[in-house]
Amino acid sequence: MPTPRQAELQAASRPKNAYRLSSIGFVAPSVLLVAVVLYLPFIWTTYISFTEYNGLGDPTWVGLENYREMFADPEFLTSIRNTLFWVVGTIALPVGLGLLIATLSHGMPKATWFRLPFLIPYAVSGVAVGVIWSFVLQTNGALSQALEFLHLPGSELRWLLDGPLNTFVMIGASTWQGAGVNALLFGIGLQSIPKEPIEAARVDGASGFTLFRTMTWPMLAPLTTVVVGLAIVGSLKTFDVIWGMTKGGPGRVSETLALTMFKETFVNNSYGLGAAVALFLTVVTVLASILYLRRQLADSRGA
């Protein structure tokens, strides 16, 4: 026989339990969907990475052989090096340039019009960017001809043939595409900064770069975390621009991990090796994201 207090508690918990149950009901389809389209393929890929498999018939278990082969391949190390170039280059150029454009245009009358030309390339697909820039950068292409016409150095450079030069120019092409959207994001961040502390800093005598370094930059931190975080993940997965411009070549000199994964799997039919590269890339991406976000969030908590 429950006490009146217990009866009251039971009565109160009934709707709560029903609510919880209905929540599970609503969430279940999504969980199922994520499990089916994300976790099951992930588990399958992990399994395939321990097998030899050409996409037909049944995979043959080979243990760690694919991983051994992967790390023993000097071209794979080139792929890792190029991926690192992409990460550093993407943070330095599209993100840096985006911040510069946003800061310079902030407060300008009709700033949107200033940012618009930088934003338009974002609407172009990566493969199209690759095609456009390979026309510009091919040997004796538009850039070399322009440099020669202007009697500037560099016309003799083989932009897309020599590594790591080809990786650097492709990061340049990617910057042309991606700087605008970063400028847009930083622009939104700048608009959300309250005016009062900035005004107070101005009254205290801060201006120009000092004002930016001491006031604007710290207040932009939450947005920077997002933009840089997206840039890291995006650059680790870089594929389309490279596929459009060099297909990872000549040879394999401009490959990144994403290209290695694709080529091993679908071009060379080594599904097991491709899966091993995919898993390695996933681990690197997740680790990089966790490390970066933990550090950033720790910083913002400490601030």
Residue number, 127 or 288, with CB nearest to another protein:
127
With CB under 8 A as the contact rule, which of the stretches 14-22, 106-114, 145-153, 214-222 interacts with another protein?
A: 14-22
Of 22 and 112, CB closest to another protein: 22
Chain positions 138 to 167 lying near another protein, rule: CB under 8 A, are 138-141, 158-161
In angstroms, give the least distance from the CB of 24 to another protein. Answer: 8
Binding flag, residue 300, another protein (CB under 8 A): no
User: What part of residues 205-264 is at the interface with another protein (CB under 8 A)?
Assistant: 247, 249-253
Contact segment (CB under 8 A) with another protein among 22-30, 39-47, 109-117, 289-297 equals: 22-30
Q: Specify the residue for token string 């190390």.
A: 77
| 39 near another protein, judged by CB under 8 A | no
Tell me the closest approach of the beta carbon of residue 40 to another protein, in angstroms.
11
Half-sphere exposure of 252 toward its Cβ, with a 13 Å CA cutoff?
Answer: 19
Binding site for another protein (CB under 8 A): 15, 18-19, 21-22, 24-26, 28-29, 32-33, 36, 54-57, 75, 134-135, 138-141, 158-161, 247, 249-253, 266-270
